[in-house]
């Protein structure tokens, strides 16, 4: 009986049922896709980690170091499972070119801003893996190039790679592409090329800049943070570069691609809310429409559970079909979404979780929908036979009386009391909206959610794309960034750069900051901390609390302030050049660079300087790109980049993820808005037949009735959209900010940098236009209406 009823009903109300099915299927699809992408991402990252065995702690370093001290340190610390020193040699991107033999295709890697480090394959751990996840072993004359470059520059196996060194051109054949567990993410500032031992020795002596990574595998990887403190408290160990723990590597890797999954889940949650609102609306409407039938079933003695079962079977069937369709689509979509990811990482092995994740997601969707259906269907228990059969009402006598009283109170005051001869149709519509607010609330709610859905990913995208985002990277707003990294003649280069920059009329506001290693008191005694030292007066960095440091003061990044448990006005002791200085914490700022752990001090550097950073603003009409390449040529040891380029390249992975999420959100929001508006108004039309009949009989034309429906729908859409904009701008920012803060990137308070014209004008307008088109389409049916049929309805 249930099956037959379900089939008949699905056939009878085809339009409504199909719309509902589509919304449910989309919800299921997104939820399952999110779960699958999440599982694949984590699986890929884990698979890569299993094979590549990345270090649990690593310290980069440039310049001389004491190898014996490292040996001694390893001997003293039994928690070290294994360790190694990886020698690397860096070449500037502009010095690396590629060509395809037998063709005219060629190019350079100069667009890339990250460090290119040539290495040999490790023997203990931290392996670079080829496409088959095997440990790549290049022969002499061969090189393995990072997959990120394969994708970016369209490189192929067999291409030639030419490196311009001080002694001539070194030529390599690209033998394959390697996946790099520690430098796979675009948040990483370097990437590794694999060459043979003999080639490496030659590159090392041909003018490249040598660098090392000291890497440790620990017996207990969970101790990585403690180990870092221990390492940093040892004065004799090399540490003038970045220090990274395995957790950080893992988080950064997962976040880059996990963002897509999070975005999908977010979209699906909003969509499920919309679907549930709709299910509730449709069921209540259906019960109202079929109240005579329900009354008759009760009259012949069918128990409430059987009657509810009839309806529940239909919605269960629909939800099940939706979950199957959604799940099927999710398999296709997640494959497309994760194919790029699996190139960078490893192919995740298929485990039980691979199947369980989407199934759990779909099951969740199914049970949530069914729970809501059950809840709404409880209405059937309260239907009284006489009320249903005689009055066609789902309400019992007491409820009817209460409703009548409420209505009577509402209508006591004349609806035309303030009517001055304007559009009567609008006046009636406004009264309808006021008295039937409960029935009209769905449309504004859906548009509210749609605006939130459409706005947040775009706001995140524009925030991460904005040149002002540098203020989240601990840098002032500027046009040019010059990075002088550690070299033996660092001070000489700095002097030359100072002179050149000061004499350059194309630049103003040139600021120089020194990267100094100071020591702070940690759990394990004195630990190293990188501090940016310079003049912060007139600084444009946004401080979360407090302001820029003056003499005797220090500003800390959010993560550092948390780590040391200090805040503005607290005392903070550092050791510079052997002597202790007590400073006052004057400011806390957000920074996502260097693992979020940075600090700023005013004045000149007095201790160990590991490099310099310059920020400069160009004068009007000057192109930062031209100036950057000019200085890049003059100072080979410097990395000179326009600020916009620096931000976009560093964050490219994240922004691409946000871009995809934003496009997806816009498409879904528009589709769902159109679908729900049409579904909702179609149901309203059916429910308002009597009203249409009365007004038509009284002399309102079909066009006038259509205008009334349009007016009500568009008003509801506009109200919902405007509320949505307000919610997205206030609550939305707080929500996303909280999520970003939880990610541990170093941003604890995210203020959107929106594109106001896009999110506050174009998007709302787009949604309103979509709502309007749907409303106009549905309302046009009223023009062809049949008054007598409406009245008989």
Partner 1 sequence: MTLSEAPSTAPVLVRTALVTTALEKSYYSTEPPTRVLNGIDLTVRQGEFLAVMGASGSGKSTLLYCISGMDRPTAGAVRLGDLDLTELSDRDMSHTRLTKMGFIFQQAYFLSNFNLRDNILLPALKAQPKGRAEVEARVDALLERFGISHVAHHGITQVSGGQLQRASICRALATKPAVLFADEPTGALNSSMTLEVMDALTGVHRDGTTIMMVTHDPACAARADRVVYLRDGLLVDERDLGAWQLADTSRREDELLSWLRDHDF
Binding interface with partner 1 (CB under 8 A)? 404, 407-408, 410-412, 414-416, 419-421, 424, 428, 431-432, 435-436, 690-691, 693-704, 783, 786-788, 791
Closest listed residue to residue 128, CA positions, set 208, 58, 203, 48: 48
* Gap between the Cα atoms of 214 and 743, Å rounded: 27
Q: Do 369 and 282 meet the contact criterion of CB atoms below 8 Å apart?
A: no
Relative to beta strand 638-642, strand 480-485 is antiparallel
CB burial of 103-130 (b: ≥16 within 10 Å; e: otherwise) equals: eeeeeebeebbbbbbbbbbbeebbbbbb
Q: How far is the CB of 387 from partner 1 (least distance, A)?
A: 14
- Please, which residue, 504 or 704, has the CB nearer to partner 1? 704
CB of 699 to partner 1, least distance (A): 2
Smallest distance from partner 1 to CB 399, Å: 13
Cβ of residue 692: shortest distance to partner 1, in angstroms? 11
| SS3 state at 82 | strand
In this structure, is the dihedral angle defined by the CA atoms of residues 520, 522, 524 and 528, taken in order, positive or negative?
negative
C-beta separation of 400 from 313 below 8 A: no
Report the nearest approach of partner 1 to the CB of residue 292 (Å).
Answer: 16
Cα 510 from Cα 293, distance rounded (Å)? 81
Q: Given the complex with partner 1, which of 663 and 697 has the nearer CB atom?
A: 697
- Closest to partner 1 by CB, 422 vs 565, is 422
By beta-carbon proximity to partner 1, the closer residue of 702 and 771 is 702
Dist. CA 33–CA 657, nearest whole Å: 15
Distance CA 678, CA 777 (A): 8
CA-based end-to-end distance of the chain: 28
CA nearest neighbour of 350 among 559, 40, 135:
40
Residue 455 CB, nearest distance to partner 1 (Å)? 35
- We find the least distance from the C-beta atom of residue 333 to partner 1, in angstroms, to be 44
Give min distance, CB of 783 to partner 1, in A: 7
Which CB, 78 or 421, lies closer to partner 1? 421
Nearest to 638 by CA among 774, 500, 518, 519: 500
Between vectors from CA 396 to CA 393 and to CA 398, what angle results, nearest 5°? 130
Q: In angstroms, rounded to a whole number, what is the distance separating the alpha carbons of residues 399 and 241?
A: 74
Q: To 10 degrees, what angle do helices 246-289 and 224-233 make?
A: 150
Kindly tell me the number of DSSP H helices and DSSP E strands found in the chain. Answer: 27, 21
Give the residues across from 173 on adjacent strands: 142, 160
CB of 380 to partner 1, least distance (A): 24
Min dist CB 410 to partner 1, Å, is 8
- The torsion angle over the Cα atoms of residues 525, 526, 527 and 530, rounded to 10 degrees, is 160
Cα 380 to chain center, whole Å? Answer: 44
Cβ closer to partner 1: 112 or 696? Answer: 696
Report, in Å, the least distance between residue 431 CB and partner 1.
5
Question: How many CA atoms does the CB half-sphere of 5 hold within 13 Å?
Answer: 14
CB of 716 to partner 1, least distance (A): 16
Integer Cα distance of 206 and 71 in angstroms: 29
Q: Quick one: which of 185, 365, 171 has its CA closest to 275?
A: 365
């003999």: which residue's tokens? 198
């Amino acid at each position: 009986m249930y099956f037959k009823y379900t089939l008949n009903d699905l056939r009878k109300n085809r339009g409504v049922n199909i719309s509902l099915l589509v919304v449910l299927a989309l919800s299921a699809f997104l939820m399952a896709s999110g779960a699958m992408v999440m599982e694949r991402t984590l699986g890929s990252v884990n698979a890569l980690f299993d094979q590549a065995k990345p270090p649990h702690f690593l310290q980069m370093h440039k310049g001389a170091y004491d190898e014996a001290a490292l040996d001694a340190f390893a001997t003293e610390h039994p928690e070290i499972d294994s360790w190694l020193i990886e020698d690397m040699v860096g070449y500037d991107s502009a010095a690396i070119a590629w060509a395809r033999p037998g063709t005219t295709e060629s190019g350079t890697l100069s667009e890339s801003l990250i460090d290119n480090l040539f290495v040999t394959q490790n023997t203990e751990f931290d392996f670079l893996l080829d496409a088959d996840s095997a440990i790549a072993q290049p022969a002499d004359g061969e090189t393995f190039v990072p997959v990120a470059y394969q994708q970016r520059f369209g490189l192929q196996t067999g291409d030639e790679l030419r490196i311009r060194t001080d002694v001539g051109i070194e030529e390599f054949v690209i033998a394959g592409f390697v996946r790099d567990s520690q430098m796979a993410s675009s948040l990483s500032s370097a990437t590794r090329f694999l060459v043979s031992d003999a080639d490496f020795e030659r590159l090392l002596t041909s003018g490249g800049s040598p660098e090392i990574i000291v890497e440790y595998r620990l017996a207990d990887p969970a101790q990585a943070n403690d180990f870092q403190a221990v390492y940093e408290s040892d004065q004799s160990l090399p540490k003038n570069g970045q220090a990274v723990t395995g957790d950080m590597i893992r988080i950064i890797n997962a976040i880059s691609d996990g963002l897509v999954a999070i975005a999908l889940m977010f979209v699906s949650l909003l969509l499920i809310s919309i679907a549930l609102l709709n299910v509730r609306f449709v069921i209540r409407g259906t019960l109202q429409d079929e109240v005579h039938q329900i009354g008759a079933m009760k009259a012949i003695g069918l128990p409430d559970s059987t009657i509810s079962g009839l309806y529940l079977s239909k919605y269960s069937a629909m939800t099940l079909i939706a979950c199957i369709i959604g799940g099927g689509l999710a398999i296709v979509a997640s494959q497309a979404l994760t194919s790029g990811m699996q190139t960078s990482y490893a192919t995740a092995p298929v485990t039980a979780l691979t199947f369980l994740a989407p199934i759990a997601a779909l099951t969740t969707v199914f049970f949530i929908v069914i729970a809501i259906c059950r809840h709404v269907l409880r209405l059937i228990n309260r239907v009284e036979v006489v009320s249903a059969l005689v009055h066609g009402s789902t309400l019992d006598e007491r409820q009817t009386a209460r409703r009548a009283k409420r209505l009577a109170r509402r209508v006591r005051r004349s609806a035309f009391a303030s009517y001055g001869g304007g559009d009567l149709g609008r006046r009636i519509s406004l009264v309808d909206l006021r008295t039937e607010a409960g029935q009209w609330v769905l449309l504004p709610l859906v548009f509210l959610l749609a605006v939130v859905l459409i706005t947040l990913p775009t706001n995140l995208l524009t925030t991460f794309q904005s040149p002002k985002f540098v203020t989240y990277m601990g840098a002032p707003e500027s046009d040019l960034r010059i990075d002088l990294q550690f070299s033996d003649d660092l001070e000489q280069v700095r002097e030359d750069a100072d002179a050149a920059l000061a004499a350059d009329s194309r630049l103003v506001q040139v600021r120089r900051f020194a990267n100094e290693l100071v020591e702070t008191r940690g759990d394990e005694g004195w630990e190293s901390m990188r501090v940016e030292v310079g003049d912060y007066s007139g600084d444009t960095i946004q401080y979360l609390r407090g302001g820029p440091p003056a003499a005797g003061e220090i500003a800390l990044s959010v993560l550092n302030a948390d780590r040391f448990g200090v805040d503005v006005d607290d005392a903070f002791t550092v050791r510079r050049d052997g002597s202790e200085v007590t400073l006052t914490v004057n400011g806390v700022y957000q920074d996502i660079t260097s693992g979020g752990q940075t600090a700023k001090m005013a004045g000149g550097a007095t201790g160990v300087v590991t490099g310099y950073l310059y920020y400069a603003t160009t004068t009007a009409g000057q192109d930062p790109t031209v100036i950057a390449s000019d200085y890049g040529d003059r100072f080979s040891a410097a990395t000179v980049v326009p600020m916009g380029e620096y931000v976009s390249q560093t964050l490219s992975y994240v922004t691409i993820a946000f871009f995809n999420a934003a496009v997806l959100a816009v498409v879904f929001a528009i589709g769902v808005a159109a679908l729900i508006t049409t579904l909702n108004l179609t149901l309203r039309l059916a429910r308002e037949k009597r009203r249409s009949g009365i007004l038509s009989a009284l002399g309102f034309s079909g066009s006038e009735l259509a205008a009334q429906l349009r007016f009500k729908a568009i008003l509801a859409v506009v109200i919902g959209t405007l509320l949505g904009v307000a919610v997205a701008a206030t609550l939305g920012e707080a929500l996303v900010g909280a999520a970003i803060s939880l990610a541990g990137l170093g941003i604890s308070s995210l203020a959107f940098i929106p594109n106001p014209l896009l999110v506050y004008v174009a998007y709302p307008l787009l949604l309103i236009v979509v709502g309007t088109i749907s409303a106009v389409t549905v309302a046009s049916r009223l023009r062809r209406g049949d008054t007598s049929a409406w009245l008989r309805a």
